[in-house]
């Protein structure tokens, strides 16, 4: 059966927003805004209370640098020659290379006012990422420590919630006091609260968008979704982010209603995890050539909805812990801490057992024919438990393909080998390249 | 005298099984030195550290990616191969991603009756952490009581703390003997001594250490004089490396390794609540790179880990250092460039060695020789 397809309007909008984001980053300091760097999982809502700022998030910046072939090569080599191993996460190497060379895609490296990081310790290099920046550029650095609770049985105990909510909330408060002192700015609690409200709204909207992927044919494919998450990464705490997600949801709902597909022929449906091979998206196109629709992924779901009390992933009441949106700083910080401990879907950090359960559930809900795993070289956090899950899924009779590539270092991608693996996998499923 | 320590390391599986047969007690395997062993020891359990065997193996590649460090993969391989069949349980205190993966895969694929993961947060706000960790340890204690069917009392915990602290004090005394020039014990021998403490009943090990401390000042074959070196790194327990370096005429006089001084360096502070005391000890222990996150400034010499390393280098009057790390160990390897700078500022030359499953003896020997020759030239 052949489906009707048409371009996603928000695909171009998302690209435009990304360009606008980096324009803002590059001009932030001259416009009197703060420029702050940190991980994509930094709790940027905390920053909003400090007033005007822009965020230079490490992972998307690393991926963006890697998008420019000449810059990608020289930045990676600059990091290599500074004594850091080739095996380290390629995002970090692109980012650091840009810093060491003082070159970005748009001029000099945008030196931040300070670095702030929410250290989830899911990746060996995360804390060092901004530590090296801090020491190289003489930029102050604040680290907040997230306790990795590893709920193998799926349950975070009430005792642990009681234990770690105050632990996190007090660190958030320390950060605010530190940042006020450093910047001389007065912290605005109202802006913090509005940012949290916006972020939760974006999470719920993105969750709904992800759920629409259960439809056959799927309205979006993985390549599109990897691009559509960008505004969520940069602006979830802002009204612009909410507006984007509201209209995106409308567009996807409309596609579902009209039966618009992402691929003209959907011969098979697959989960694709983990991070995409941004420097080798031909891999995904090669899959599409077989009519393989990559309909869902834990990676893109990581930003939507929340984890419910029974540890399933889905809609949750955004402010269920308080019964209402936060009214003051204390409530806001406690809510944030509660959310991070109990609700935030850190799916990549769950134990293999729990993760496998999610995959099995997703295969069923999204009517998938198999799971395709991308082993992103150097990203130990993303790969955590992935092969255990592959093994468990195979035991359950769910076909799996594992390919090794890179999110942002083309030198680590053996495209011929990957394509050979895909061809063999597709053949084993009885799928043929479309005419 | 020193052979018994080395033999114990070689025969660690046999020792644990004999201990088990003799005492009827449980044996608990653990990964990483952030696991508070005292709590288990208080319950009459023998904690034994799981280490790799430095042999090529393919068992773990089904579950762990090729770019996880050889140590983490080999530890899992040891479990999958059945060498730790006698364990009654396995545990880990939260550490690097790679060791966590070893733990998770072990629990799934190596039949082991008991498993427990202790969430030990990073050491960002040390004081607020201590009561939290003490609470976690109470939970851990509860599960051990279920495992053994025995209650662990406050006195049991205090006795365990005393035995462990005695061991730590005695190991510190051995390290003190390395301040002499030449040291009274070589780096490789010391590593055997420290490693053996990770597999042995600490009360028994304490007796051995006391005998060793009496023996060393009068040993007939002390190490010959040579350049005084330090080894800095992570999960390195391959004494072949140290023997190879020392065979070139150097003395390794101190280390900052998790299989070395970091394992035992600090004592337990007094506290009326023994779990709080244990928690404080683990929070305050010399940091591994994963936990070294407390510095808000931009001066690397103020990182808690580096402050400790600098002090060791000065106290032991080292003249150079080997910076070693397991291939793919990101926390360690990302510290290497800044650590190198720190040693440069101290006018101490460094040699970086990347370790794999097995030691490439020829190339490593050549590098060690070249490094020592370079040091001699610098002295001239």
B103, B121, B126, B335: best mutation site toward chain A, by most A Cβ within 10 Å?
A: B121
- Provide the sign of the torsion angle of the four alpha carbons A109, A115, A117, A123, taken in this order: positive
| CA–CA distances in Å: residue A348 to residues A222, A301, B65, B99 | 18, 10, 15, 16
A135, A141, A153, A182: best mutation site toward chain B, by most B Cβ within 10 Å?
A: A135
CB-based contact A163 B136, cutoff 8 Å: yes
Q: Which of A381-385, B253-257, B268-272 has the lowest mean pLDDT?
A: A381-385
CA distance A376 to A407: 6
Using only C-alpha atoms, chain A has a radius of gyration, in whole angstroms, of: 21
CA distance B255 to B234: 10
Residue showing tokens 């790179």? B289
Of B96, B104, B136, the CB nearest to A388: B104
Q: Which residue of A has its CA nearest to B334?
A: A84
- Compute the average pLDDT of residues B213-231: 96
CA distance B123 to B370: 38
Q: Which of A42-46, A372-376, B36-40, B94-98 has the lowest mean pLDDT?
A: B94-98
Q: Which of B123-132, B234-243, B290-299, B337-346 has the lowest mean pLDDT?
A: B123-132
Alpha helices (H) in B48-149, listed in sequence order: 70-80, 97-109, 126-148
Preceding peptide of B182 cis, ω within 30°: yes
Q: B267 versus B122: which is more confidently predicted?
A: B267
pLDDT at residue B125 tops 60: no
CA distance B250 to B100: 36
pLDDT digits (tens, 9 = 90+) for A240-287: 999 999 999 999 999 999 999 999 999 999 999 988 999 999 999 999
pLDDT at residue B297, rounded to an integer: 82
Residue showing tokens 């020829």? B362
Burial of residue B146 (CB within 10 Å: 0-12, 13-18, 19+) is exposed
CA distance A34 to A111: 11
pLDDT at residue B294 tops 80: no
How far does B169 lie from chain A, in Å, by closest CA? 31
- Strand A260-261 and strand A53-57: the pairing is unpaired
- Strand A306-307 and strand A313-314: the pairing is antiparallel
A380, A382, A409: best mutation site toward chain B, by most B Cβ within 10 Å?
A: A380
**Confidence label for A348 from pLDDT (cuts 50, 70 and 90):** low
Q: Please, are residues B356 and B69 in contact by the beta-carbon 8 Å criterion? A: no
CB-based contact A124 B290, cutoff 8 Å: yes
Q: Please, are residues A107 and A82 in contact by the beta-carbon 8 Å criterion? A: no
Q: What is the mean pLDDT of chain A?
A: 93
Q: Which residue of B has its CA nearest to A163?
A: B132
**Confidence label for B123 from pLDDT (cuts 50, 70 and 90):** low
CA distance B376 to B20: 51
**Confidence label for A125 from pLDDT (cuts 50, 70 and 90):** confident
Q: A92 versus A155: which is more confidently predicted?
A: A92
pLDDT at residue B126 tops 80: no
The structure tokens listed for B116 are: 């427990």
> Which B residues, 55 through 114, put their C-beta within 8 Å of a C-beta on chain A?
62-68, 94, 96-98, 100-101, 104-105, 107-109
Phi/psi of residue A294, each to 5°?
-90, 95
Q: CB of A310 within 8 Å of any CB in chain B?
A: no
How far does B69 lie from chain A, in Å, by closest CA? 10
pLDDT at residue A162 tops 80: yes
Of B290, B331, B337, the CB nearest to A84: B337
pLDDT at residue A382, rounded to an integer: 83
CA distance A336 to A204: 16
CA distance A400 to A348: 18
- Compute the average pLDDT of residues A346-374: 89
CB-based contact B97 A381, cutoff 8 Å: yes
Q: CB of B330 within 8 Å of any CB in chain A?
A: yes
Residues of chain B neighbouring A178 (CB-CB closer than 8 A): 296
How far does B64 lie from chain A, in Å, by closest CA? 6
Q: A46 versus B53: which is more confidently predicted?
A: A46
CB atoms within 10 A of CB B316: 21
Q: What percent of chain A has pLDDT over 90?
A: 78
CB-based contact A124 B65, cutoff 8 Å: no
**Confidence label for B109 from pLDDT (cuts 50, 70 and 90):** very high
pLDDT at residue A111, rounded to an integer: 98
- Compute the average pLDDT of residues B280-285: 93
CB-based contact A387 B340, cutoff 8 Å: no
How far does A10 lie from chain B, in Å, by closest CA? 36
The structure tokens listed for A131 are: 């530590």
A115, A119, A131: best mutation site toward chain B, by most B Cβ within 10 Å?
A: A131
pLDDT at residue A126, rounded to an integer: 84
CB atoms within 10 A of CB A191: 17
pLDDT digits (tens, 9 = 90+) for A8-19: 999 999 999 999
Q: Which of A22-26, A262-266, A299-303, B190-194 has the lowest mean pLDDT?
A: A299-303
pLDDT at residue A351, rounded to an integer: 80
pLDDT digits (tens, 9 = 90+) for B345-380: 999 999 999 998 888 889 999 999 999 999 876 654
Widest distance between CA atoms in chain B: 66
> Which B residues, 158 through 177, put their C-beta within 8 Å of a C-beta on chain A?
none
Q: Please, are residues B75 and B51 in contact by the beta-carbon 8 Å criterion? A: yes
| Residue among B131, B128, B73 nearest B106 (CA) | B73
> Which A residues, 120 through 179, put their C-beta within 8 Å of a C-beta on chain B?
121-125, 127-128, 131-132, 134-135, 138-150, 152, 159-160, 163-164, 167, 170-171, 174, 178
DSSP-assigned states of every residue in B1-40: --HHHHHHHHTHHHHHHHHHHHH---EEEEESTTS-HHHH
Residues paired with B31 in a beta bridge: B92
Burial of residue A162 (CB within 10 Å: 0-12, 13-18, 19+) is exposed
Of B97, B108, B335, the CB nearest to A380: B97
Of A143, A387, A392, the CB nearest to B64: A387
Q: Which residue of B has its CA nearest to A85?
A: B333
pLDDT at residue B124 tops 60: no
CB-based contact A170 B128, cutoff 8 Å: yes
The structure tokens listed for B67 are: 């770019």
pLDDT at residue B165, rounded to an integer: 98
Find the helix packing angle between B187-197 and B154-176, rounded to 10°: 170
Widest distance between CA atoms in chain A: 64
**Confidence label for B13 from pLDDT (cuts 50, 70 and 90):** very high
CB-based contact B293 A143, cutoff 8 Å: yes
Q: Please, are residues A360 and A396 in contact by the beta-carbon 8 Å criterion? A: yes
CA distance A396 to A370: 11
> Which B residues, 3 through 62, put their C-beta within 8 Å of a C-beta on chain A?
62
Q: What is the interface pTM, i.e. ipTM, of the complex? A: 0.94
Residues of chain A neighbouring B327 (CB-CB closer than 8 A): 87
Q: B206 versus B364: which is more confidently predicted?
A: B206
**Confidence label for A355 from pLDDT (cuts 50, 70 and 90):** confident
Residues with Cβ within 8 Å of residue B82, at least 6 apart in sequence: none
Burial of residue B260 (CB within 10 Å: 0-12, 13-18, 19+) is buried
CB-based contact A145 B124, cutoff 8 Å: yes
Q: CB of B327 within 8 Å of any CB in chain A?
A: yes
Q: CB of A382 within 8 Å of any CB in chain B?
A: no
pLDDT at residue B132 tops 70: yes
**Confidence label for A152 from pLDDT (cuts 50, 70 and 90):** low
Q: What percent of chain B has pLDDT over 90?
A: 83
Q: Which residue of B has its CA nearest to A139?
A: B298
Distance between terminal CA atoms of chain B? 38
Q: B349 versus B126: which is more confidently predicted?
A: B349
**Confidence label for B86 from pLDDT (cuts 50, 70 and 90):** very high
SS3 B157: helix
pLDDT digits (tens, 9 = 90+) for A23-53: 999 999 999 999 999 999 899 999 999 999 9
pLDDT at residue A104 tops 70: yes
pLDDT at residue B215 tops 60: yes
CA distance A347 to A150: 11
Of A122, A143, A377, the CB nearest to B124: A143
**Confidence label for A309 from pLDDT (cuts 50, 70 and 90):** confident
Count A/B contacts: CB-CB distance under 8 Å: 155
Q: Which of A343-352, A392-401, B299-308 has the lowest mean pLDDT?
A: A343-352
The structure tokens listed for B373 are: 């020759």
Q: CB of A75 within 8 Å of any CB in chain B?
A: no
∠ at Cα B233 (B14, B345), nearest 5°?
155
- Compute the average pLDDT of residues B176-202: 98
**Confidence label for B57 from pLDDT (cuts 50, 70 and 90):** confident
Residues with Cβ within 8 Å of residue B3, at least 6 apart in sequence: none
Q: Which residue of B has its CA nearest to A384?
A: B101
∠ at Cα B64 (B61, B67), nearest 5°?
95
Global pTM?
Answer: 0.95
Residues of chain A neighbouring B66 (CB-CB closer than 8 A): 404
CB-based contact B97 A89, cutoff 8 Å: no
- Compute the average pLDDT of residues A68-74: 93
CA distance A217 to A200: 28
């Amino acid at each position: 059966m052949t489906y009707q397809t048409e371009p996603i309007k928000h695909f171009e909008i998302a690209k435009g927003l990304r360009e606008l984001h980096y324009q803002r980053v590059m001009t932030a300091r001259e416009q009197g805004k703060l420029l702050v760097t940190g991980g994509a999982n930094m709790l940027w809502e905390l920053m909003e209370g400090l007033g005007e700022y822009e965020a230079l998030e490490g992972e998307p910046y690393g991926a963006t640098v890697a998008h420019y072939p000449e810059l990608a090569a020289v930045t990676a080599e600059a990091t290599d020659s500074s004594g850091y191993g080739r095996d380290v996460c390629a995002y970090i190497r692109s980012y650091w290379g840009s810093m060491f060379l003082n070159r970005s895609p748009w001029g000099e490296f945008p030196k931040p006012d300070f670095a702030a990081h929410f250290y989830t310790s899911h990746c060996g290099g995360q804390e060092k990422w901004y530590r090296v920046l801090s020491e190289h550029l003489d930029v102050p650095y604040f680290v907040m420590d997230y306790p990795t609770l590893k709920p193998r049985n799926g349950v975070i105990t009430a005792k642990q919630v009681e234990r770690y909510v105050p632990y996190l909330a007090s660190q958030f408060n320390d950060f605010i006091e530190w940042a006020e002192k450093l910047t001389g700015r007065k912290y605005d609690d109202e802006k913090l609260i509005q940012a949290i409200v916006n972020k939760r709204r974006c999470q719920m909207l993105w969750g709904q968008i992800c759920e629409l992927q259960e439809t056959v044919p799927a309205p979006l494919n993985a390549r599109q979704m990897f691009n559509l998450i960008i505004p969520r990464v940069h602006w979830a705490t802002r009204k612009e982010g909410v507006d984007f997600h509201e209209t995106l949801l409308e567009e996807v709902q409309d596609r579902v209603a009209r039966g618009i597909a992402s691929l003209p022929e959907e011969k098979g449906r697959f989960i694709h995890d983990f991070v995409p091979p941004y420097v080798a998206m031909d891999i995904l196109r090669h899959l599409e050539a077989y009519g393989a629709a990559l309909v869902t992924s834990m990676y893109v779901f990581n930003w939507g909805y929340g984890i419910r009390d029974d540890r399933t992933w889905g809609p949750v009441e955004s402010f269920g812990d308080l019964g209402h949106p936060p009214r003051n700083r204390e409530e806001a910080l406690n809510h944030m801490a509660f959310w991070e401990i109990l609700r935030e879907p850190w799916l990549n950090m769950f134990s293999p057992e729990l993760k496998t359960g999610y995959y099995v559930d997703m295969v069923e809900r999204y009517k998938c024919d198999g799971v395709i795993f991308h082993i992103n070289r150097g990203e130990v956090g993303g790969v955590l438990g992935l092969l255990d899950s592959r093994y468990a899924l195979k035991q359950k009779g769910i076909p799996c393909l594992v390919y090794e590539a890179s999110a942002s270092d083309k030198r680590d991608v053996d495209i011929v080998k990957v394509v050979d693996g895909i061809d063999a996998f597709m053949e084993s499923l009885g799928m043929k390249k479309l005419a | 005298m020193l052979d018994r320590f080395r033999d114990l390391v070689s025969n660690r599986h046999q020792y644990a099984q004999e201990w088990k047969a003799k005492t009827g007690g449980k044996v608990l395997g653990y990964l990483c030195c952030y696991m508070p062993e005292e709590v288990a020891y208080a319950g009459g359990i023998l904690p034994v550290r799981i280490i790799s065997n430095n042999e090529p193996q393919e068992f773990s590649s089904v579950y762990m990616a090729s770019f996880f460090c050889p140590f983490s993969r080999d530890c899992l391989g040891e479990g999958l191969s059945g060498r730790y069949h006698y364990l009654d349980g396995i545990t880990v205190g939260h550490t690097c991603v790679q060791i966590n993966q070893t733990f998770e895969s072990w629990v799934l694929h190596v039949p082991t009756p008991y498993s427990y993961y202790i969430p030990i947060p990073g050491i960002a706000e040390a004081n607020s952490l201590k009561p939290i960790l003490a609470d976690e340890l109470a939970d851990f204690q509860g599960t051990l009581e279920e495992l053994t069917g025995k209650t662990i009392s406050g006195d049991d915990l205090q006795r365990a703390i005393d035995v462990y602290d005695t061991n730590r004090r005695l190991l510190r005394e051995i390290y003190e003997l390395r301040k002499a020039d030449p040291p009274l014990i070589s780096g490789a021998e010391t590593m055997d001594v420290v490693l053996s403490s990770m597999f042995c009943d600490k009360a028994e090990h304490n007796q051995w250490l006391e005998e060793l401390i009496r023996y060393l000042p009068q040993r007939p074959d002390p190490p010959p004089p040579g350049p005084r070196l330090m080894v800095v790194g992570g999960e390195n327990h391959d004494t072949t490396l140290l023997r190879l370096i020392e065979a070139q005429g150097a003395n390794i006089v101190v280390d900052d390794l998790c299989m070395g001084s970091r394992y035992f360096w600090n004592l337990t502070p007094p506290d009326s609540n023994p779990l709080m005391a244990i928690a404080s000890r683990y929070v305050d222990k010399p940091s591994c790179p994963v936990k070294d996150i407390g510095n808000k400034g931009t001066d690397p010499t103020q990182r808690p880990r580096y402050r400790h390393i600098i002090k060791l280098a000065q106290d032991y009057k080292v003249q150079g250092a080997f910076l070693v790390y397991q291939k793919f160990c990101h926390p360690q390897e990302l510290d290497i460039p800044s650590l190198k700078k720190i040693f440069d500022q101290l006018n101490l030359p460094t040699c970086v060695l990347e370790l794999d499953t097995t030691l490439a003896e020829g190339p490593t020997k050549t590098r060690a020789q070249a490094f020592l020759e370079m040091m001699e030239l610098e002295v001239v």
